[in-house]
Amino acid sequence: MSRNEKRVDLSHFTLRQMMELEACTRCGECIETCPTFAEVRREEIHPLQKIAQTKSFWKADHLGLLARMFGIRPASEGDQQTYSEGVYRCTLCGRCHVVCPVQIDTRPLWIAMREQLVDWGLYPEIFDTLQARITTQYNISGDDNANRLIWSQNMEHVPEGLAGKKDAEVVYFVGCVGSMYPRVYSVPQSMVQILERAKINFTTLGGEEWCCGFPLEIAGMGQHAHALARHNVEAVKATGARRLVTTCPSCYHTWAQEYPRILGKPFDFEVLHASEYLAELVDRGQIKLHGFKQPVTYHDPCDLGRTSGIYDAPRQVIQAIPGIQFTEMAENRELALCCGGGGDAEMADAELTAAVGKRRIEQAQETGAQVVISACQQCVRTLMEAARKNRIRIKAQDLTEVVWQAMQE
Amino acid sequence: MEHDLRLTVFWIVHLLMLGLFALEVLFILSVWLRSRVPGVPVEASRWRKLGAAVGIALGILFSRRIWTLLRSLVVDGMFHRRLYQKNTRRWLAHIMVFGSFLLLGILSTITGVVVEFLPLFGMSPEQAASLPVIGQLFHADVWWVALLNELLGLVVLAGMILIIIRRYVQKDPQLRTISADHIMIALLTLVAVGGFLAETFRLLADYTTPAGLFAPAPSMLSPDKFPPVLIPAWGPQWGFVGYALAWLFGLLKIGPDVWAVWHNVFFWLHFVVVTALLYYLPFSRFFHVIMSPVIVAYNTMSGQEEHRRHTAAEQKAPQAAA
């Protein structure tokens, strides 16, 4: 692709984002809170630099002589490559938005930058594989999508009507990580057992569940997610369910925020994250919690907390467990540190995201907890890995696993 | 009459410059409209997108949301609440420069209106200067105008010193200094220092006797320049820094014509630097002076609405279940 073809296409950005780029005061608040920059101190990674580069690029490409007069030069291939490396080494955790004095809505801005980079062909090659897997196999692992319920095979008792039940009230949308990654099979296993014990008339979409499209959306390949959105919505509608519950915060965000935008209309069913639904079941007395022996802490998943604004529901559920010893981490809620597993950053730089995970698991360890609870199978997977690699004696568990365990004790 | 003519030229050039600045901003806005606007296809014309954006803005202006927006504009956009919560010292430095420049700009604009525009509508200098409150802005030697200008100028300078210390002496690790920052800091400091010098030489030009003695008296100014109605409020000594400097320079016993030349030089230098700042604004980080109040107000309003929606949904969910 020639330099001329690598002009900034402003249609990747919204008018509000164009204004946000100019609203950046370069105060640097975002720099010290950026979890990936903290690990490698590479300038192209932090938010301030990404914004400064984007501004410089579009001005050089669209303001012509006026830009040259003020010393703004067109970007070289090298500049664009470095920019790409910075933009894809971001976990999209959104902590920069929280500390930004101007409240720039950073996460969508980083995604818009990725869309531009996809246009330029400057993105990690592995994303082509990801796109191919999702658009042909309909899941992120590339396995046969008919195996979506593989996690249920080693259950002692498989709940009835696990897939394709027509008169279910609730559809449980498992998500790719829970469905396809053995390390977190226990998340959907716990969830369906809780639902069955609570006498909820539920089902899953089984092989008809397609990837929600979130990994493509955040990679800057959102246009490929539209077909997935249409399919999933139709599949849920076909069940006649009134509610959709998901244990994955990324799926939850996509269903609650992105699908209505993509499809241009709201659904006639409600979308809930499992933590909200569990809080509701506890509140209604449909779940009886008996206790949980180990001291715990809670890790706020970025897509559930900062992106979706759900902080209280998981805490309500945890604190409803009789006798539980719960301690908050130093950085929690809006300022919670990312686990490193978000934003597809792991695909761009696995070492970097592992370093972020290490820092987070150490924060969990500092609380004295033996279990770090999260409400996201991706966070659980990442934190589990960080604990294992760094030989930190702490267990990472999903909220559903803890709840199911608390129902047994 | 030379002084008046210079001010008239200043205001004409200044307005022309403001017009050009507006054109510069409009040009940038026209480029922005190549981006996406909610509710309009991306390939729609820029006029249609502009219409949609104006529609969104009007929709907020004529709804209850305007109160949230205005509150946020004042609290977050003007008083920088978030910065205050984060770091009081940095907030102080920022508000000292931003707030003082804003107030000085407002005062200058009112003076421009009183001195240059009201006469266009047949108002004599005496009548303009007799207007309540704003009339006294007719001349910078009215005691409280002199004092206010002086204090605001000093606050700007003190704020700039704090900024320079943080950036160049303490070298705060979260700051990233690029060449454009040096230019901006130099221009802002020049504006503040140049303002004091221009004021000093004006005092010398106005109040130096032909024998070269600095001996201020209101009678030394023509009634057109300083209408008699203002004489009871005359008090250039309240502009204590400029006045003290003028007194010091006055010891050189130089005639008023020479000081008038110096005043002209510093007056136009001050003007050129302010104009350069204005033109550089949309291409520098300082465009945030205009954009960040807008964005922080809009995003804070949206954030609060989102939070309220979410809290309502969270409260509704258990009730619905019950």
User: What chain A residue is nearest to B82 in terms of C-alpha separation?
Assistant: A101
- The larger pLDDT score, comparing residue A245 to residue B129, is at A245
pLDDT at position B315, please? Answer: 65
Confidence grade of residue B321 (pLDDT, cut at 50, 70, 90): very low
What pLDDT digit, counting tens, does each position of A57-107 carry?
999 999 888 888 878 888 888 999 999 999 999 999 999 999 999 999 999
Asked if residue A275 and residue A299 are part of one domain, the reply reads no
Q: Which domain holds residue A48?
A: 4-120
Which residue did the predictor score with more confidence, B223 or A338? A338
- CATH classification at residue A62: 1.10.1060
Cβ separation A14–B35 shorter than 8 A: yes
Q: What CATH number is attached to the domain comprising A321?
A: 3.40.50
Residue A156: other Cβ atoms inside 10 A? 6
Q: Where is the domain boundary, A281, A297, A316? A: A281
Residue A10 in any domain: the answer is yes
Same domain, A90 and A177: no
Nearest to B151 by CA among B241, B27, B217, B220: B241
Give kind and range of the element (H or E) at residue A244.
strand A243-246
Q: How far is A144 from chain B (nearest CA, A)?
A: 37
Residues of B in contact with A66 (CB under 8 A): 24, 27, 283
Residues A184, A177: Cα–Cα separation, whole Å:
7
Cα–Cα dist A235/A148, whole Å: 15
Of all residues in chain B, the one with the smallest CA distance to A59 is B283
Residues 6+ apart with CB under 8 A from A79: A53, A57
The answer to whether position A130 is within a domain reads no
In this structure, the answer to whether residues A273 and A326 fall within a common structural domain is no
Q: Please, which pLDDT band fits residue B279 given cuts at 50, 70 and 90?
A: confident
B1: pLDDT strictly greater than 50 = no
Of the candidates B90, B175, B288, the beta carbon closest to that of A22 is on B288
Query: What's the whole-number average pLDDT of chain A?
Result: 94
* Contact between A15 and B291 using a beta-carbon 8 Å cutoff: no
Mean pLDDT of A104-117: 97
**Partners of residue A62 in chain B, C-beta under 8 Å:** 31, 34
- From the list A11, A22, A312, which residue is nearest B34 (CB)? A11
Do A210 and A274 have their domain in common? Answer: yes
Alpha-carbon distances of A281 from A173, A236, A311, A320, B160, rounded to whole Å: 18, 22, 17, 11, 58
What average pLDDT score do residues A157-181 get? 92
- Residue A322 structure tokens: 């009789």
* Residues A141, A271 within the same domain: yes
CB–CB of A15 and B32 under 8 A? yes
Nearest to A26 among B37, B83, B176 (CB): B176
* Range B188-192, long-range pairs (CB < 8 A, 24+ positions): B188/B97, B188/B156, B188/B160, B188/B277, B189/B157, B189/B160, B189/B164, B190/B273, B191/B156, B191/B270, B191/B273, B191/B274, B191/B277, B192/B153, B192/B156, B192/B157, B192/B160
Residue A324 and residue A302 in one domain = yes
Judge if A263 and A291 occupy the same domain: no
SS3 B19: helix
Question: In this complex, do A63 and B49 lie within 8 Å of one another by their Cβ atoms?
Answer: no
Domain boundaries, chain B: 2-32+64-321
Segments in A47-172 forming alpha helices (H): 47-62, 64-69, 77-88, 95-99, 106-120, 126-137
Q: Which of A8, A9, A18 to mutate to test the interface with B (most CBs of B within 10 A)?
A: A18
pLDDT of residue B280: 80
A275 plus A143 within the same structural domain: yes
Q: Do B295 and A102 touch (CB under 8 A)?
A: yes
Count up the domains in chain A and report the number.
3
Answer yes or no: do A309 and B307 touch at CB < 8 A.
Answer: yes
φ, ψ for residue A254 (rounded to 5)?
-65, -45
Residues A25, A100: one domain? yes
Give the model's pLDDT for residue B251: 95
Q: Do residue B317 and residue A276 have CB atoms under 8 angstroms apart?
A: yes
**pLDDT the model gives residue B2:** 45
Nearest-CA distance from B76 to chain A in Å?
A: 8
pLDDT recorded at residue A73 = 85
When mean pLDDT is compared over A80-84, B3-7, B299-303, the highest value belongs to A80-84
Among the three residues A281, A298, A315, which one is the final residue of a domain in this structure? A281
Residues A163 and A104 grouped into a single domain: no
- Under an 8 A CB cutoff, do B283 and A66 touch? yes
% of chain B exceeding 90 in pLDDT: 56
B280 contacts A23? CB cut-off 8 A = no
Contact flag A15-B298 (C-beta cutoff 8 Å): no
- Higher-pLDDT residue of A133 and B272 is A133
Identify whether A166 is part of a domain. yes
Continuous H helices in A160-271? 176-180, 186-197, 214-219, 226-239, 249-253, 259-263
Asked which of A120, A149, A183 is the last residue of a domain, the reply is A120
Residue type, B130: S
Query: Are B175 and B167 within 8 A, CB to CB?
Result: yes
- Given a cut of 80, whether residue A225 has pLDDT beyond it is yes
* Per-residue pLDDT reduced to its tens digit, A242-263: 999 999 999 999 999 999 999 9
Q: Mind telling me how many Å the CA of A15 is from chain B's nearest CA?
A: 6
**Averaged over A317-337, what is the pLDDT?**
96
Q: How confident is the model at residue A3, as a pLDDT?
A: 53
Inter-chain CB pairs, A–B, below 8 Å: 130
For residue range B216-264, list pLDDT tens digits in order: 999 999 888 899 999 999 999 999 999 999 999 999 999 999 999 999 9
Q: Is residue A125 part of a domain?
A: no
Q: Which residues contact B99 (CB under 8 A, 6 or more apart)?
A: B78, B155
| For residue B115, pLDDT beyond 90 | no
| Together in a domain, A277 and A374 | no
Amino acid symbol at B181: D
Rounded CA-CA distance A75/A69 in Å is 16
Q: Do B34 and A10 touch (CB under 8 A)?
A: yes
Q: Which of A312, A316, A313, A320 is nearest to A291 (CA)?
A: A320
Cα B179 from Cα B12, distance rounded (Å): 33
Q: Closest to A309 (Cβ–Cβ): which among B280, B284, B306?
A: B306
Q: Which residue from A minimizes the CA distance to B166? A: A27
Where helices occur in chain B by DSSP H, the ranges are 2-32, 46-61, 65-72, 81-86, 88-112, 125-130, 143-164, 179-207, 240-250, 256-280, 288-321
Residue pair A36/A86 in contact (Cβ under 8 Å)? The answer is no
What pLDDT is stored for residue B282 in this prediction? Answer: 79
Does ipTM exceed 0.95? no
Mutate to test the interface with A, among B26, B30, B31, B87 (most CBs of A within 10 A): B31
pLDDT for B173-203, tens place per residue? 889 988 888 988 998 999 999 999 999 999 9
Q: What is the pLDDT of residue B112?
A: 81
**pLDDT for position B318:** 52
**Minimum distance, in Å, between the CA of residue A308 and any CA atom of chain B:** 9
Put simply, the answer to whether A66 touches B27 (Cβ < 8 Å) is yes
Please state the φ and ψ torsions of residue A163, each to the nearest 5 degrees: -135, 140
Is A2 or A297 the better-scoring residue by pLDDT? A297
| A183 and A143 housed in the same domain | yes
Euclidean distance between CA atoms B180 and A339, whole angstroms = 36
- How far apart, in whole angstroms, are the C-alpha atoms of residue A135 and residue A130? 9
Give percent above pLDDT 90 in chain A: 89
- Check residue A1 and give its pLDDT: 54
Using DSSP's 3-state secondary structure scheme, residue A393 falls into coil
Answer whether A272 sits within 8 Å of B180, measured CB to CB: no
Indicate which CATH number applies to the domain containing A268.
Answer: 3.40.50.1860
Amino acid at A15: L
Name the residue type at position A6: K
Closest-CA residue of chain B to A67 = B283
The distance of B38 to chain A (nearest Cα, Å) reads 8
